[in-house]
Amino acid sequence: MGLTLTEKILKAHIVDGEFVKGQEIGIRIDQTLTQDATGTMAYLEFEAMGVPRVKTERSVAYIDHNTLQSGFENADDHRFIGSVAKKHGIYFSRPGNGICHQVHLERFGAPGKTLIGSDSHTPTGGGIGMIAIGAGGLDVAVAMGGGAYYITYPKIVKVELTGKLSPWVSAKDVILEVLRWLSVKGGVGKVIEYCGEGVKTLSVPERATITNMGAELGATTSIFPSDETTRQFLKAQKREEVYVPLSADEDAVYDEVVEINLSELVPLAACPHSPDNVKTIAEIGAMKIDQVCIGSCTNSSLMDMMKVAHILKGKTVHPDVSLAIAPGSKQVLNMLAQNGALAIMIDAGARILESACGPCIGMGQSPNSKGISLRTFNRNFEGRSGTKDGQVYLVSPELAAVSALTGVLTDPRTLGDEFVFEMPSEFVINDNMIVPPAAEEEMDSVEVLRGPNIKPFPKTAPLMDTIDCGCSLKVGDNITTDHVMPAGAKILPLRSNIPAISNYCFTVCDENFPERAKSMGESIIVGGSNYGQGSSREHAALAPLYLGVKAVLVKSFARIHRANLINAGILPLTFVNENDYDSISQGDELVIADVRKAVTEGVTELTIVNKTNGRSIPVLCELSGRTKDIILAGGLLDYTRESLK
């Protein structure tokens, strides 16, 4: 029996555990990346481990999220990350060099390598044949220190692509179609592997768009084979030496198979407020729009930008529409400036933003109240844009550009003849905004620069003998990390200050939660299905940790957030019977007796007693040997520090 591409790479990197579906395995990590919204905490954690220099093949720190410098906080974080990077063997991508996933694909990604990043869209690297996984900052810190990264050996879903995309139908429509099929929960515990003749028709940037939004499926990662198209892309980036051909064996066996005929796809949009709320443009109709934003790590490649420039050439943005464009990297911006495409965009009335995440994380360009915004981004969660009642639709660059001209949602197929963009045989290479680390003999003399907003990692403690406290919050299904720990220009600068940022924890759901949790001292949060979907931000676990949350009880978890809760020493529990969700109300007193003893002995079914109504509720506490030890120790930092002694 042959192997899938996923299995080939995982097998080559496994260092702990057995290669059995559903079992936990530890894999060796070749590369790591961080961004500045998660990076400061990741590097504080790395420092706390006492490892002098990273042990990966390549670790890169990117500045791309908190680039708006309206106060000293973001600039201080950038300075801190730059100094830590120089001291500890990490490459530093300066502000303005571009979005981490775009730049990493261009300059560092390599087929067959493993990559984890403290950003949920790290699977973008799957477009170049990597096993690239989003993780919490603490997991990245451990990997930089030479530790393994642990995942559940995943199910592998084969997406068989046939045919070829029709004119003005794009890679964005492919992943929106997959989301329509599988939903935001459909990829949990799975790797999505793209195969078939249709793969050959897709460029590396198009593949990266598809793997990027695999994060919205809840998937562990997504991956394309490494083929001649991959080689040509790497050659154009003057990195052909890292190319290796990689594909699944012909007789590989998959857990599921989904077939998509690219020729049959039509322009799609994800409607508010979920990436899987997908409809055709015909179903939505000619809806009046207020704003268009083009860019983000999903759709900001040179190919995307050239298609947009072609559509805008010689025309003017509709007077009722604000159009903002953010090229994904300095390389892309440079090439647009040199070939004249940037002038075309400016002439049309586009507002050119810096090469950064920007509006995607609510960092500027919030739409007007109740405004309808078409965005080429990956998430449209309620309030994420910075406007609470904003109506965000996720669309392709082609659809976004033509709609910016007409003022209404417009099918790009009305443009007529297709614009065919030929990938360049050579990209403009200038890595002067990537700062290499200090040589080993110089690292001791490098001073780490800390600003006053940078606070230590929150205090942790070993698992209690008995958890006896109140339910501080009860929430419903599909709670995102944006609900738990909002983004945006006001809150993101506090990412390195857990005491300050905790004041915003869950305020999207209940503005009184932070004060209530503080007054309770210790508490439990109760939630519904797919709790913690979205970003990899570990702050959605660290802020509850700081506020005294000891356990989170839900119907089901999103993968990264559950891992982050364990890393923070917060006990993750799920209902045995989902109907028992109705047996707990906010304010109820809950007891988990002898919980430390039960976890130590590997008991997987515990009982929560609701002292308020007298109900006994069975819950699952599914921890492996390693995650059990992490919870007992009080979190991954304590566990790792002990193991390094």
CATH, domain range 5-264? 3.30.499.10
In the DSSP assignment, the letter for residue 69 is -
pLDDT digits (tens, 9 = 90+) for 491-536: 888 888 999 999 999 999 999 999 999 999 999 999 999 999 988 8
- Measured CA to CA in angstroms, residue 54 lies from 34, 47, 88, 141 at distances of 13, 11, 6, 9
Mean pLDDT of 318-331: 98
Model pLDDT, residue 68: 86
Neighbours of 548 (CB within 10 A): 15
pLDDT digits (tens, 9 = 90+) for 64-73: 998 888 889 9
Amino acid at 465: D
Tokens of 631: 């919870």
Model pLDDT, residue 197: 98
Q: Is 80 exceeded by the pLDDT of residue 616?
A: yes
Model pLDDT, residue 640: 84
Mean pLDDT of 246-255: 97
CATH, domain range 467-643? 3.20.19.10
| DSSP annotation string for 361-372 | GTSS-PPPTT-E
For 424, counting Cβ atoms within 10 Å of its Cβ (0-12 exposed, 13-18 middle, 19+ buried), the class is: middle
Choosing from 58, 65, 318, 562, the catalytic residue is 65
Spell out the domain ranges in the chain: 5-264, 269-413, 467-643
Q: Is 80 exceeded by the pLDDT of residue 187?
A: yes
Q: Is 60 exceeded by the pLDDT of residue 549?
A: yes
Model pLDDT, residue 645: 54
Tokens of 73: 């906080």
Q: How far apart are CA 134 and CA 139, in angstroms?
A: 10
Choosing from 119, 304, 580, 588, the catalytic residue is 119
pLDDT digits (tens, 9 = 90+) for 334-372: 999 999 999 999 999 999 999 999 999 888 899 999 999
pLDDT digits (tens, 9 = 90+) for 259-308: 999 999 999 999 999 999 999 999 999 999 999 999 999 999 999 999 99
Of 594, 498, 592, whose CA–CA distance to 551 is shortest? 592
Choosing from 373, 502, 535, 556, the catalytic residue is 535
pTM greater than 0.75 (yes/no): yes
User: Which distant-in-sequence residues (6+ apart) come within 8 Å of 148 by Cβ?
Assistant: 15, 16, 26, 27, 28, 29
- Is 65 among the residues known to form the active site? yes
Q: How far apart are CA 518 and CA 503, in angstroms?
A: 10
Q: Do residues 89 and 51 make contact, with C-beta atoms less than 8 angstroms apart?
A: no
Q: How far apart are CA 561 and CA 525, in angstroms?
A: 14
Mean pLDDT of 539-565: 95
- Is 64 among the residues known to form the active site? yes
Choosing from 88, 537, 539, 559, the catalytic residue is 537
Q: Is 70 exceeded by the pLDDT of residue 484?
A: yes
Q: Which CATH class is domain 269-413?
A: alpha beta
Would the CATH topology of 269-413 be identical to that of 467-643? Answer: no
Alpha helices in 530-635 (DSSP H): 539-546, 559-567, 595-600, 625-633
Model pLDDT, residue 487: 81
pLDDT digits (tens, 9 = 90+) for 411-456: 999 999 888 889 999 999 999 999 999 999 999 999 999 999 898 8
Mean pLDDT (the chain, rounded): 95
Model pLDDT, residue 644: 57
- Is 444 among the residues known to form the active site? no
Choosing from 379, 384, 483, 561, the catalytic residue is 379
- Is 119 among the residues known to form the active site? yes
Tokens of 199: 């793969």
| DSSP annotation string for 13-68 | HEEES-S-TTSEEEE--SEEEEEHHHHHHHHHHHHHHT-SS--SSEEEEE--SS--
